């Protein structure tokens, strides 16, 4: 531990010396006469919620659209929110909306989500508009400019995601060199987890047509779980050229994460069929665990504006990513109500190579008094990956309240070629506007081709589907309010059954087309943005009947069939704005009713609520700039999640919970350097609770009270 503090004290001193030198340079620059800048008092805001939410969203096939003109429920979180809240991963950002359930523990190597009752994996994030290009397992935020969440399925905007999940479309965009920047930050999380972050940007050339932005992050230490050691090394670069007609971007990142000595756990109640008290969340159940991830990406995209009405664009990316060790499978299976349990160490391995690209044109023209923006786009993605033939497993006994030190990491597993998937789609959109944008339509369709191959059992499946979309936006009361209605579809590849004990082993079902109907209203004025949405989603799926027995083959003990359907209906309200001078509000509230409407293989569950979907969730965030201390803001966030069933039988319920977080930040100038001090405390009351679900009957242990302090310098 002494070596740890000596090492990071040296880092801190070096950073402070750099900031001191830069302060002297800055002081000299202050003697230079600066041009006068005139601000428009009534200038239209470019963001909401004190800069935490963007006014526009980058929606791939639909281009950049103002939120008020978008006929879907969409939110774009900015890098300012990420920095102010010290959010280190995608999951930490999405915690601002409790209706988005994080279906893996805080600090887990894998980050998965549930939106509007349906699953969304980290693999389904589109980086710079390209699927399959994000890092493995989870997405760090230090190199991101924005994160856009479009709730519900949307084949028109996103196409079919790599894993076929339809909870939402997540789009993450890397930072660009919009202006010169020198940023140095460092933070401490918990007892000894230290992080340094360097962010530099420059524009150069006769007209500032060239830009480069570089981010570097190094973090190391113990946090979240007792004796769990994490290390992160991240580097990224974003270079661009902005000419009169041509725009070019080059992006790359390299991310390495190591974990040693622990992991959050998920707990099964299947054997006891009741909920017992949540344990201390810092308990370490896997003290011998080891694992690592490694991801490298490079991509380019270009846009050429032939005329003000016609442009062409293209992009391509390549990623290599791999993981090894106990990355997932951190399961505990309770055997009694005293917390005794069985568990295992689970050794995995995977290597993945993906190529993604797109090309398209967009043209604007009029037919009489009607304005059209016509877009044609093609997208391509291949995923080739090797995976462990069979994970290494070492079982051991433990206890939920008194973890044992038993077990050990298994030998590395054998890796074999596993899958080779190819997805090609073609999208045609017509964005129509008339009556000075008071009436807008979006007509579109995406034709998707999929070619999936499971190499372990030499099965191949080819299929294609057309997903149409229709949306309308009406502005009857001016530019600051809108009513909208939309119909969109989502597409998922058909499930391939890979279980010798299943009567349909080797069968691949047809692709599933999810349908969503949504109506809503939006209002913006000054700093305020309100979105109200009502929706219905119908998703087909497979179901497994585990009571089935084959009279001719005693090895067959179940049968999986399609024909299952889940319907989600809900109401959502998002509001942000300044409710009092210096006091900003960010509110999210959602009512979600997700029912299993049809299940031929398990008719007993028809009409039941889908597991892991709380009926009601809300979050209220307040940020107040204190009037008597210039530059000092205090904030709080209250999140409430309703009770939720742990399985589709609806016989056991996780209790509801409410969590309170607080924070403060102070911005000032030290020696001519813009300096920010930040402090955050999550779960102030140190509440013990079960946070949510991933698999049926498995619950996640909620995170305990955590502390994070940080300082940054901009010069």
Residue-wise pLDDT for 309-363, tens only, equals 999 999 999 999 999 999 988 999 999 999 999 999 999 999 999 999 999 999 9
Domain that holds residue 646: 2-28+47-714
202 part of a folded domain: yes
Q: Are strands 168-174 and 125-127 parallel, antiparallel or unpaired?
A: parallel
In 329-375, which residue ranges form alpha helices assigned H by DSSP? none
Contact 387, 344 (CB under 8 A): no
Quote the percentage of the chain above a pLDDT of 70. 94
CATH number at residue 68: 2.40.170.20
CA separation (Å) from 691 to 86, 659, 683, 705?
21, 10, 12, 14
Average of pLDDT values for 122-147? 95
Nearest residue to 408 (alpha-carbon basis) of 347, 350, 341:
347
295 part of a folded domain: yes
pLDDT tens digits, one per residue of 623-650: 999 999 999 999 999 999 999 999 999 9
In 66-174, which residue ranges form alpha helices assigned H by DSSP? 79-85, 90-94, 155-158
**Rounded Cα distance, 132 and 138, in Å:** 13
**Rounded Cα distance, 518 and 535, in Å:** 4
Contact 58, 77 (CB under 8 A): no
39 part of a folded domain: no
Residue 636 — φ and ψ, nearest 5°?
Answer: -150, 155
Quote the percentage of the chain above a pLDDT of 90. 80
Total number of domains in the chain: 1
Average of pLDDT values for 388-394? 94
Give me the pLDDT at residue 4, please: 39
Give me the pLDDT at residue 45, please: 64
267 part of a folded domain: yes
Contact 676, 658 (CB under 8 A): no
Q: Which residue has the higher pLDDT, 75 or 545?
A: 75
**Rounded Cα distance, 285 and 225, in Å:** 9
226 part of a folded domain: yes
Three-state secondary structure call for residue 21: helix
What average pLDDT is seen over the chain?
91
pLDDT at residue 25 is higher than 80: no
37 part of a folded domain: no
34 part of a folded domain: no
42 part of a folded domain: no
pLDDT tens digits, one per residue of 101-113: 999 888 888 999 9
């Amino acid at each position: 531990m002494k070596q740890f503090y000596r090492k990071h004290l040296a880092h801190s001193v070096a950073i402070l010396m750099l900031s001191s030198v830069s302060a002297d340079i800055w002081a000299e620059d202050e003697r230079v006469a600066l041009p006068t800048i005139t601000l428009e008092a009534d200038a239209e805001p470019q963001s909401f919620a004190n800069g935490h939410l963007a006014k526009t969203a980058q929606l791939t096939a639909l281009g950049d659209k103002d939120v008020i003109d978008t006929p879907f429920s969409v939110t774009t979180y900015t890098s300012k929110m990420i920095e102010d809240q010290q959010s280190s991963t995608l999951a930490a950002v999405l915690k601002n909306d409790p209706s988005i359930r994080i279906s893996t523990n805080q600090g887990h190597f894998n980050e998965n989500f549930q939106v509007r009752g349906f699953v969304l994996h980290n693999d389904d994030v589109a980086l710079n508009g390209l699927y399959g290009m994000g890092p493995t397992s989870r997405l760090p935020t230090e190199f991101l400019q924005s994160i856009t969440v479009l709730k519900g399925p949307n084949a028109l905007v996103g196409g079919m995601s790599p894993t076929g999940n339809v909870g939402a479309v997540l789009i993450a965009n890397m930072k660009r060199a919009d202006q010169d920047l020198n940023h140095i930050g460092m933070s401490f999380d918990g007892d000894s987890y230290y992080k340094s972050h360097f962010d530099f940007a420059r524009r150069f050339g006769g007209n500032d047509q060239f830009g480069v932005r570089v981010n570097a992050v190094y973090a190391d230490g113990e946090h979240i779980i007792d004796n769990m050691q994490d290390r992160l090394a991240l580097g990224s670069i974003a270079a661009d050229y902005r000419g009169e007609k041509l725009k070019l971007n080059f992006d790359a990142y390299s991310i390495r994460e190591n974990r040693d000595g622990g992991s959050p756990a998920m707990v099964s109640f299947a054997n006891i069929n009741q909920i017992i008290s949540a344990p201390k969340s810092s308990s370490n159940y896997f003290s011998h665990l080891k694992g690592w991830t490694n991801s490298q990406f490079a991509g380019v995209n270009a846009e050429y504006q032939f005329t003000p009405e016609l442009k062409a664009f293209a992009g391509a990316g390549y990623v290599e990513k791999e993981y090894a060790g106990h990355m997932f499978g951190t399961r505990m299976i309770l055997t009694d109500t005293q917390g005794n349990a069985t568990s295992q160490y689970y050794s995995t391995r995977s290597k993945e190579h993906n190529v993604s690209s797109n090309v398209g044109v967009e043209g604007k023209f009029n037919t009489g008094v009607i304005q059209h923006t016509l877009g044609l786009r093609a997208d391509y993605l291949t995923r080739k990956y090797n995976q462990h033939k069979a994970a290494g497993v070492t079982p051991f006994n433990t206890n939920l309240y008194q973890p044992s030190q038993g077990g050990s990491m298994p030998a590395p597993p054998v890796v074999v070629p596993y899958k080779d998937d190819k997805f090609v789609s073609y999208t045609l959109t017509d964005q129509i506007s008339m009556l000075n944008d008071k009436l807008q339509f979006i007509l579109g369709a995406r034709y998707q081709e999929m070619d999936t191959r499971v190499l372990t059992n030499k099965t191949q499946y080819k299929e294609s589907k057309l997903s149409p979309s229709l949306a309308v936006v009406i502005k009857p009361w001016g530019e600051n309010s809108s009513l909208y209605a939309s119909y969109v579809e989502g597409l998922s590849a058909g499930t391939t059954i890979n279980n010798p004990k299943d009567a349909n082993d080797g069968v691949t079902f047809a692709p599933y087309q999810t349908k969503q109907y949504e109506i809503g209203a939006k209002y913006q004025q000054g700093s305020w943005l309100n979105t109200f949405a009502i929706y219905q989603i119908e998703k087909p799926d497979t179901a497994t009947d585990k009571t089935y027995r084959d009279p001719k083959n005693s090895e067959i003990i179940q049968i999986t069939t399609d024909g299952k359907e889940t319907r989600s209906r809900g109401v959502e309200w998002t509001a942000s704005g300044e409710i009092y001078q210096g006091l900003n509000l960010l509110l999210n509230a959602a009512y979600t009713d997700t029912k299993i409407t049809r299940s031929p293989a398990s008719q007993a569950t028809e009409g039941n609520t889908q597991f892991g979907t709380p009926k009601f969730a809300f979050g209220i965030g307040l940020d107040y700039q204190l009037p008597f201390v210039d530059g000092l803001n205090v904030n709080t966030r209250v999140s409430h999640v309703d009770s939720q069933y742990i399985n589709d039988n609806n016989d056991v319920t996780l209790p509801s919970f409410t969590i309170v977080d607080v924070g403060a930040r102070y911005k000032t100038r030290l020696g001519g350097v813009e300096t920010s001090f930040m402090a955050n405390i999550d779960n102030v009351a140190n509440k013990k609770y079960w946070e949510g679900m991933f698999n049926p009957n498995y619950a996640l242990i909620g995170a305990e009270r955590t502390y994070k302090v940080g300082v940054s310098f901009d010069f």
